[in-house]
Structure formats: C-alpha cells, structure tokens
Amino acid sequence: MTTTAENIAPRGNGGGLKRAKEALSGRRALVVGLASTGLSAARFLKKCGAVVTATDSKPLKDIPAAGELNALGIEVKAGGHEGLENLGFDLVIVSPGVPHGLKLLCDLRDLGAEVISDVELAYRFIDAPVIAIAGTNGKTTTTTLLGEVLKDAGKKAFVGGNIGTPAVEFVEREMEADYCVLEISSFHLETTERFNPHVGVLLNITEDHLDRYRDFGHYAETKFRLFRNQTASDYAVVNVNDPVIASRVQKGLGKGRIIPFSVEGELKDGLSCNGAEIIFRCSEKEERYPVADIRLKGLHNIENVMAVIAAARVLGVGRDEILATLKRFEGLPHRMEFVMERNGVAYIDDSKGTNIGSLMMALRGLKGPVILIAGGVDKGGDYRVLSSLVKEKVALMVLIGEARFKIKEALGAVTGTVMAESLKEAVEVSEKNAKAGDTVLLCPACSSFDMFRNYKERGDKFKGFVRAL
C-alpha cells in the first residue's frame, strides 16, 4: 500500500555546517541554560564563528562544563542574568528548561534579539527530512521505536532532540542520515519560527507543566505549533481519540495531509484497532498488523505503535519490515517496565509517568486490581479527573512526596489511601497489602525532584527495593 503521493527522497546533512558558519559567523549569541542542550548549542555556535556568551542561574561551582566553555573562548555568566540585556546580543538560544517568559528573554526580545530553541537553530541547517514526535506522553518510546524501524529497514536515522543527542550536534558533527527523528517538547515549540517537520506526530495532550503555562489551553496551543508551517507535501499524524486533538482537527490543523489514528472505533482513512489487529486504511486499501505480534504491551503503546506505523509507511518502509521491528522491540526503562512477579503480584516501574495523563493511560492498560504508588512534586494538574478510573482500578493508593496531601484530598474518598515517608516504605506497604493477581504500579503522576535527581533514579530505586523484598 502506498500512503504517499510521492515519498520524500532521503538526503544527508550535506553542507549544513558550511551554511551554519556562513549564517552565524560574527553574530553575538547568548545561550541561556547550561544543561546538556545549552552546552551543545554553545559549542556549536562557537564552532560556527559566533561571539558566544553562556549564562545559567546556578552558581559557577554547579556548572561542571564552565571550564571547558571558557577554554573555547565562551564567556560564562553564572548565578543569574543581571546586565546581560545590555550587551548587544542579536541571537538567543534558550534551553528547554528555561521559561519562555523569563524577564531576560522578554527584555532581549524587546531589544530586537531573535530568541529561539536549539531545535529551531538546528533545523535551519539540517538537510535531511525531519520527523518530529510531540505529545504529553509516549514521545520517547515512539521516537525510539520509529528510529529502530527505520534502521532495521536499512535507513540511516539520526534519533535525538529531547532525548539522547541534541539536534545541533547532527549539524556540528556533519553526520549523515536519511532522516532526522526528533523528540520535541512543548518547551522547544514555544520558540519555533521556521521549524517544519515533513512528518509531524502528535500523540496526545493532557494536563502537564501547568506550573509553566497560563492554563491548559495555552499548553495545548503550544503543542499545535508543530504543524503551523506544514505545506501540502507534509504529513500530520494525529491521535483523534484525544478529544483536544480531535477538536482541533475539525477546526483545522494546518496544510499538511492528516493521517489520523484511534484505539476506539473505526476510521475510514487512518489507523484503528479492533483489539486483535491494527488496521491501516488508506485510499481504499487496507493493511493489518496483528496485536499479538507486537512486543510492547498496554493501550498507550498501541497508540504509540499506530503513530510509528503511519510515519514509517509515509517514509516508504514496508509492512513486513515494520512488523519485524515490532516483534522484537521491548520498550524503554521506566516506561511501564515489568520488574518481576512475586507471590503472584506483578511489579511495574512507570517512573517516567510524571503527569496525570500518563497515570490515566497506565491504569487504562492494566486489568487486575492495582496498588498504586504515586506522588512527588506537583505540576499543577487536577487529580480529580482520575476519580472514576481510580475507583474502578485501584485497590489502594500509597502516596509519597510533596504532592501526597493534594492527591489524597482529590482521590482519597474513592479508594483506600496510605501515606508513606519514603519510596522504600511505599514498596514495603504495597507488598504487605498485595494479593495474588494484583499489580503494584509505580506511576507517580508527578516529577521526582523532591526526593530524587530525576525519574531514572526514582525508577532504579524502586526496582532495587522490589528485588530486595
């Protein structure tokens, strides 16, 4: 089945770095935020001949790469951003973790500086077709899986962006690829101008990062920026089972050709699932993908797989090639990862489930009674939207972290609730209350920073506590 009028021809990076040097040489550039993305952007700009300053709110002792940057001739301003608006910068690269409304950025915009993300910067010099995956949940799994499908099909695929390698490194290293597969966050999309993926994938939009956005509508509109520059030769792969996305599709999404997918109901054109098979209908032709052949489990992963099938077929990968990868791909750590079974109780690590939407999808995908470990740093969502699902699926909530009181207030009336002082205690309480056939699920619906460095450390600790039972 051909899903495109004409598949875009794969291309390498070509003269991207040369063009970047021509465009950036001599520009006065400021990089705001010095985590891995900011460091890559600073090095790239310097290599291209820009006059670069880098700044971070952290003190100098907490910026390990400051010495390296200084050795490259990059001035580092640590501990705040005072006075930087008066230094004549005309290009500002803002790292994903830095709020778009930061006073420094607002001042620099008012003075005429161009404020963009590293992804926007890289896109201007990437010659290979870009496939961008966005959404509140499932981005990393979908991005990784699509990269694997392309590689298994004999394509050169660069996989990066919000995961792994920052996009600017593709240009800086003069890497060769048929396709650039990028995970894109809403933080990246806030400052895009020309960014236009040949294939844009939007998996879902649920409440997240409301501590950063004015409201949910503002957050959703930022996600839709993924499609704002698409033309009739581009593709928008969208989850129309998500009510926010479905509503926007009806109103008009952009100029790209829409390929919808949904786990509920049948679609005349697009991808749907009847439980046993994923069915892809296009131009009165049909392909079927047996669910039993898919290694990834869970309803949310069926959605991720649908998105991958759509994108891969647009790029010319055959059905059998896609299925071969789906049969072997096991998923990623801390994303509904099966840890072990003990006394008939399954333990699952979904530490990457850092928002309400991810918890919703996790619970929807589990059948038996669930003992839920949740909590951490609240991100501003309304846990009450989970009430009916928690009442139906959760036998006991074991709550940890700063948000445990808010979660108890929202959901404590619909199921049993225990407050724990640590993750170790939460695992022990869960084990004592679990019966054969139950599932103990770590899906915090919160960020980890009150108790752990990141979700990975939280998930690793959980697995260690479980295995020590």
Beta strands 285-290; 277-282: pairing state: antiparallel
Closest-CA residue to 287 (of 265, 270, 263, 262):
270
DSSP state of 129: P
Q: For the chain, give me the number of helices (H) and strands (E)?
A: 17, 20
- For residue 355, give both structure tokens: 């928002």
Across the strands, what pairs with 134? Answer: 202
Grouping H, G, I as helix, E, B as strand and the rest as coil, residue 231 is: coil
| 158-168 per-position pLDDT tens digit | 999 999 899 99
Percent of the chain with pLDDT over 90: 87
Closest-CA residue to 157 (of 302, 306, 308):
308
Q: What pLDDT does residue 207 have?
A: 76
C-alpha torsion sign, points 118, 119, 121, 127: positive
Contacts of 422 (CB under 8 A, 6+ apart): 400, 451
Q: What pLDDT does residue 210 have?
A: 66
Asked if 255 contacts 230 with a C-beta cutoff of 8 angstroms, the reply is yes
Asked if 90 contacts 112 with a C-beta cutoff of 8 angstroms, the reply is yes
Q: What pLDDT does residue 17 have?
A: 95
Asked if 388 contacts 416 with a C-beta cutoff of 8 angstroms, the reply is no
Q: What pLDDT does residue 75 have?
A: 96
Asked if 370 contacts 439 with a C-beta cutoff of 8 angstroms, the reply is yes
Distance CA 363, CA 370 (A): 8
Within 10 Å of residue 80's Cβ, how many Cβ atoms?
Answer: 13
Closest-CA residue to 374 (of 256, 265, 282, 462):
462
| 13-68 per-position pLDDT tens digit | 558 999 999 999 999 999 999 999 999 999 999 999 999 999 999 999 999 999 99
Within 10 Å of residue 247's Cβ, how many Cβ atoms?
Answer: 11
Question: What's the CA dihedral at 279, 282, 284, 290 to 10 degrees?
Answer: -20
Q: Which domains does the chain have, with CATH numbers?
A: 16-118 (3.40.50.720), 121-328 (3.40.1190.10), 337-467 (3.90.190.20)
- For residue 109, give both structure tokens: 């915009």
Asked if 197 contacts 231 with a C-beta cutoff of 8 angstroms, the reply is no
- For residue 75, give both structure tokens: 């001035």
Give residue 402's pLDDT band: very low, low, confident or very high (50, 70, 90): very high
| 127-161 per-position pLDDT tens digit | 999 999 999 999 999 999 999 999 999 999 999 99
Across the strands, what pairs with 277? Answer: 290
- For residue 102, give both structure tokens: 């930061």
Within 10 Å of residue 67's Cβ, how many Cβ atoms?
Answer: 11
